[in-house]
């Protein structure tokens, strides 16, 4: 994306991106949280979030996006894996088999009666790994000369 050589003005694209990225991210979070009862979950949520980031990459260049979101995506993927394994290991402390999940109904201030499940933690891990891996692949290919 060398702006000096190509005289293009992508003002419309960049302006639309600024709004649309938030909508996509909100939708991806919705997909992520709805995974337990309706279609959705960590994998598609993660892909959706990374598609929002890819849209940013298309509208701006790699450097700008790195300045906005200064993440090391490989570490994000690794923390995702870590969360997944630790969720599994957590069950060892309660003397139940590896990866045994549990859930509980809790009254939250705004949301009312909600079931909080440890399976969400595992899904969060999937979400992080998917974002980390997708963005690593795309940025690595994008940066190679």
Candidate ranges 20-28, 54-62, 76-84, 133-141; the one touching another protein (CB under 8 A): 76-84
- 44 binds another protein, rule: CB under 8 A: no
Are the beta carbons of 127 and 49 closer than 8 angstroms? yes
> Other CB atoms closer than 10 Å to residue 73's CB: what's the count?
21
The SS3 of residue 14 is helix
Spatial distance between the Cα atoms of 119 and 78, rounded to a whole number of angstroms:
19
Q: Which region among 3-11, 25-33, 42-50, 72-80 touches another protein (by CB under 8 A)?
A: 72-80
Alpha-helical (H) ranges within the chain are: 11-33, 42-59, 62-68, 73-93, 119-143
Name 22's Cβ contacts closer than 8 Å, sequence gap at least 6. Answer: none
Q: Is 137 in the site for another protein (CB under 8 A)?
A: no
Among 62, 92, 106, 116, binds another protein (CB under 8 A): 92
Residue nearer to another protein on the CB measure, 20 or 82:
82
Binding-residue pattern over the window 96 to 115 for another protein, x denoting contact by CB under 8 A: xxxxxx--------------
Piece of 8-16, 63-71, 81-89, 104-112 that binds another protein (CB under 8 A): 81-89
């Amino acid at each position: 994306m060398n702006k000096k050589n190509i005289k293009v003005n992508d003002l419309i694209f960049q302006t639309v991106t600024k709004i649309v990225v938030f909508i996509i991210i909100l939708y991806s979070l919705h997909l992520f949280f709805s995974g337990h009862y309706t279609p959705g979950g960590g994998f598609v949520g993660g892909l959706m979030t990374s598609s929002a980031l890819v849209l940013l990459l298309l509208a701006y260049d790699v450097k700008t996006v790195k300045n906005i979101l200064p993440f090391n995506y490989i570490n994000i993927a690794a923390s995702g894996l870590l969360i997944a394994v630790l969720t599994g290991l957590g069950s060892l402390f309660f003397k139940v088999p590896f990866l045994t999940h549990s859930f509980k109904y809790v009254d939250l201030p705004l949301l009312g009666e909600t079931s909080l499940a440890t399976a969400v933690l595992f899904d969060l891990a999937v979400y992080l790994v998917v974002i980390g891996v997708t963005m690593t692949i795309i940025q690595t290919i994008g940066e190679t000369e």
